[in-house]
Copies of this chain bind each other. A is one copy, B any other.
Amino acid sequence: MTLTDIAPDDNQEVEAAASTTIYVCITCRRASDPEDDVRPGLLLARATARAAEGTGVTVRQVRCLANCSRALSAAIRRDDAWTYVFGGLDADRDAAALIDGAKLFARAGDGLMPWRGRPEILKRGLIARVPPIDFEEDSE
């Protein structure tokens, strides 16, 4: 049992996480994968959906995030916050990291996914981020 298991704010965590959606690209495959096999992107999407159970995080499938050269791919988005695109994901390994990243992001007050505490694969696999709608920099 960890501290998290007995934290009194589990419900708050689930509520916060509910604003967060992970889109997993189900068309992703590696160049060496046979065309007619189940796509590893679909396997990652299914694993992520299982890992999301009870967390409040929404997992959706999407056909092509256009990050094909650095597959497998997923995006994490939160209302009124930045959107993140990740690549180099592995279907057998990274579902939990996506959920952990989404939960970390859900708790961030500034709309940015914290670097500290972010799963390693969501650091080295960061492809791009996009600001929320109506975002404006303060100045040049």
Give chain A's interface residues, CB within 8 Å of chain B: 21, 23, 26, 42, 60-67, 73, 75, 77, 79, 83-85, 126-131, 133, 135-137, 140
Q: A42-B140, A85-B85, A140-B42 are in contact. Are A23 and B130 (CB under 8 A)?
A: yes
Whether B131 lies near A62 (C-beta < 8 A) is: yes
Please indicate the chain B residues that have their CB under 8 angstroms from the CB of A136 in the complex: 60
Please indicate the chain B residues that have their CB under 8 angstroms from the CB of A73 in the complex: 128
Whether A130 lies near B85 (C-beta < 8 A) is: yes
Whole-angstrom CA separation of A34 from B77 in the bound complex: 34
Whether A66 lies near B26 (C-beta < 8 A) is: no
Whether A130 lies near B133 (C-beta < 8 A) is: no
